[in-house]
Structure 1
Amino acid sequence: MRAVITGATSGIGKEMAVYLSQLGYDLILTGRNQKQLEQMQKALPTRVEVIALDLSEDRAPFQLYDFCKDKQVDLLVNNAGYGLFGTFDQIDLEDELHMLNVNIRALHILTKLFLRDFKEQNRGRILNVASSAGFLSGPLLSSYYASKNYVVRLTLAIYEELRRAHSKVTVSLLCPGPVDTNFNNRAGVQFS
């Protein structure tokens, strides 16, 4: 069994890597921090491959897929994502576009590419990590909430398509509430 995890160097992604490795999954981990990826590679009990990528960059999702496509992946965990705190008109547009590239574009591309392979094999699982924010509007985190709404709606639609096709491929959605991760530091916000 082999799983790919994006955003694997901290928070939920890191914990998923530990958990799946304990279940016996070999892993392909990606994140921006090469050093943290290498530390995880040494610490986890199963075979771990790493590829440092910034999924906000246009080619990065395709590079990750190309790295994985011949490695018999069973599970894709689309976990990479972050938020930006502030009023919609004051958040830096470039920062916001980078966030949308990670939260929406990269997840969309990876879901589509891996789903095609999984459907061809009639097996495989995708877990898209959204947020409870995906069901709400979010003043001061408006673009983040909107991006997670996209993840929720896309995943639910794909789920229904797979159900109607009686496919053995599954797609699931994880929607945690506030979790004590690096999200707060990156977003520039602190939850109680």
Structure 2
Amino acid sequence: MKTALITGATSGIGNEFAHQLAAKGYRLIVTGRRAERLEQLKAQLDVPVEIIVADLSKKKECFALIKKLEEEDIDLFINNAGFGVAGSFLETDVDKEISMIKVNDIAMHILFKGILHNMQESGSGKILNVASSAGLLPGGPYMAGYYASKAYVVSLTRAVAVELKQKGSQVRVSALCPGPVDTEFNDRADVVFALKGISPKQCVAEAIKGIERNKLIIVPSLRMKLACTFSHLVPYPILMKLTARQQKKKLG
């Protein structure tokens, strides 16, 4: 039985990954801050599920998680934990933003590196770093920190993919870059999506197909694929103004 590790499994995309990977017969290791939600998830699934409660905004807990997983043979790692902060950079709460960076980037980086080392030693494995379509754009006024944090995820994944290929590694890495997805992300970021979101089910189904095909950058839904392609054709100043207008709509 293959094993999948999923961070941020208590809700949204991470929770949906747990359901869809369980349906494919994976044994699961799931992490999150809310033990009761992880227990609820475990009760819903018909495969072995190991629960590890961890607050990934704390660096020590990230390293402790890596240590705990040293003996595990992980076939697939969904590096999913993350959240967003919206508003004018002059007005957003700096503590919340720093917490976001700790989860979106520092925890993502530590776990990516740690699990990658384990997979490289075992000779195989796949890692999906969950980024955002925001990470494919030059910036996002009114969600400046969030866009920057996801650009880090995309940039790191792209670079590591090249290094692994040149090394002849059998480990494959990908970045998932969805647009709006109907999850609790909206509430935590204090936004209302200006565009209709896709369902977590669609997002995850397309992500799994992309992983199976070893795609580097996975953008779910035709609409977002077209939007990302269009963004490369628009001059930078115009694109930033268009992005700012869309982001301001999210603030209600």
TM-score range, shorter chain: over 0.9
The alignment status of 1:44 with 2:45, answered yes or no, reads yes
Structure 2 counterpart SS, 1:162? helix
| Equivalent residue, structure 2, for 1:176 | 178
Matches within 5 A, 1:87-106: 87-106=88-107
| Equivalent residue, structure 2, for 1:148 | 150
Structure 2 counterpart SS, 1:173? strand
Larger radius of gyration: 2
Structure 1 segments, 4+ long, off by >2 Å, are none
CA distance in 1, matches of 2:28, 2:63: 18
The alignment status of 1:185 with 2:187, answered yes or no, reads yes
> 1:16 offset after TM fit, Å?
0.5
Aligned identity (percent) is 51
> 1:88 offset after TM fit, Å?
1.1
TM-score, normalized by length of structure 1?
Answer: 0.97
> 1:89 offset after TM fit, Å?
2.0
Question: Aligned partner of 2:186: which letter?
Answer: N
> 1:122 offset after TM fit, Å?
1.3
Answer with 86-95 or 141-150: which moved more: 86-95
CA distance in 2, matches of 1:133, 1:141: 9
| Equivalent residue, structure 1, for 2:166 | 164
Question: Aligned partner of 2:191: which letter?
Answer: V
Q: C-alpha offsets along residues 101-126 of structure 1, whole Å, 9 cap, x if unaligned?
A: 00000000001111111111111111
Q: C-alpha offsets along residues 57-96 of structure 1, whole Å, 9 cap, x if unaligned?
A: 1212112212222121111110011000111122111111
User: How big is the alpha-carbon RMSD for the aligned residues of Structure 1 and Structure 2?
Assistant: 0.9
Q: C-alpha offsets along residues 111-156 of structure 1, whole Å, 9 cap, x if unaligned?
A: 1111111111111111001000001211111000000000000000
CA distance in 1, matches of 2:90, 2:62: 29
Question: Aligned partner of 2:187: which letter?
Answer: N
CA distance in 1, matches of 2:4, 2:64: 16
5+ residue gaps, structure 1, are none
Answer with 71-80 or 98-107: which moved more: 71-80
CA distance in 2, matches of 1:18, 1:90: 38
| Equivalent residue, structure 2, for 1:129 | 130
Matches within 5 A, 1:39-118: 39-118=40-119
